[in-house]
Chains A and B, each alone.
Chain A
Amino acid sequence: MVEISKNRRLVATLAAFAAGVVMLAVFDPARSGVFPPCPVRYFTGWYCPGCGSLRAIHQLLRGNLRAAWALNPLTMILLPFLTYGLASSALFEIRGQGLPQPFLRAFWIRALGAAIILFGIARNLPLYPFDLLAPGTWLHW
């Protein structure tokens, strides 16, 4: 009984994820209005470290690497690692064992957190070269 509900949850999660990826490939978050805006940007007017990431992944799925990079370079750098981590988690749920992962020392995790925050601050600065980090600016440069 428990096993069945756990399997159902897993299937539902994977299906929702797949549906999300397909929707992201079909609809452009920049124009379609299917995806909600970033709450941080909506309420404060500032770009958050993740602003542009959905648009970036949409461009990536369409094969436009340059546009994807311009919309959110941080997401493009993190994406391979996040994908690997997600795949590992999914495999762990399915077969009880994930993919091999290195043990990250606490220092490096804190450094990563700091880098994400600094990226978020930098892309709001209206001076060159930081303004290149704002979503999309790189394309018009």
Chain B
Amino acid sequence: MFCTQCGANNADSAAVCVQCGRNLQPGTPLVPLQTTAVALPPGTTVQNYLVFAILATVFCCLPAGIPAIIYAAQVNGKLQAGDLAGAQVASNNAKMWCLISLGLGLGIVALYAMMIMLGILSGFHQH
């Protein structure tokens, strides 16, 4: 089928356009009905949180950022295969790992601030 937005040729099962990301299935039940498919309004796509996954990896916590990137890839992979429900699950996982990373980051900042303050306080003590 051809994308209504950019005209790119897509596989008939594709959930989103491979070129512009436009949702190609406005509520059509190509996804099996027994799955918990989310009906996306046309023109939207499932969020993959890739930007936040990379930010988490590079600025905060490598161990939490890498799973986020892997799930981000999975979101788009499932979208390519036409599996909207699977993409939504992967999207939730990507979001979860980004939030874990954010929590770890804030925890590290708080811990560091506490250590600095204790250090300054004990420094005052010596003088």
Across the interface, which residues of B come within 8 angstroms of A113, CB to CB?
A: 66, 69-70, 73
Give the number of residues in A that approach B within 8 Å (Cβ atoms).
Answer: 33
Partner of A49, one of B17, B58, B79: B58
**Contact residue among B45, B60, B61, B112 (Cβ-Cβ distance under 8 Å from A103):** B45
The answer to whether A54 and B59 touch across the interface, beta carbons within 8 angstroms, is yes
Point out residues on B near A: beta carbons under 8 Å: 16-21, 45, 48, 50-52, 54-55, 57-62, 66, 69-70, 72-74, 76-77, 79-80, 104, 108-109, 111-112, 116
Chain B minimum-CB-distance residue to A111? B73
**Cβ distance B123 to chain A, nearest Cβ, rounded Å:** 13
- The tally of CB-CB contacts under 8 A between chains A and B is 82
Q: What is A's interface to B at a CB cutoff of 8 Å?
A: 33, 36-37, 39-40, 48-50, 53-54, 74-75, 78, 81-82, 85-86, 88-89, 100-106, 109-110, 112-113, 116-117, 120
Nearest chain-A residue to B68 (Cβ)?
A: A113
Q: Which 5 A-B pairs have the closest CB atoms?
A: A85-B51, A106-B77, A103-B21, A36-B112, A50-B58
In the complex the two chains form, is B76's CB within 8 Å of A49's CB? no
Q: Which residues of B contact A89 (CB under 8 A)?
A: 51-52
Specify the main secondary structure of chain A where it touches its partner.
helix
A106 in contact with B62 given A36-B112, A85-B50 (CB within 8 Å): no
Whether the Cβ atoms of A106 and B116 lie closer than 8 Å is: no
Q: Report whether A50 and B59 are in contact in the complex, using a CB–CB cutoff of 8 Å.
A: yes
A103 x B57 contact (CB < 8 A): no
Q: Which residues of chain B come closer than 8 Å to A40, judged between CB atoms? A: 61-62
Q: Which residues of chain B are near A117, meaning CB under 8 Å?
A: 66
**Residues of chain B contacted by A82 (CB below 8 angstroms):** 51, 54-55
Contact status B80-A105, CB under 8 Å: yes
A48 touches B62 (CB 8 A): yes
Asked whether, in the complex, the Cβ of A101 is within 8 Å of the Cβ of B58, the reply is no
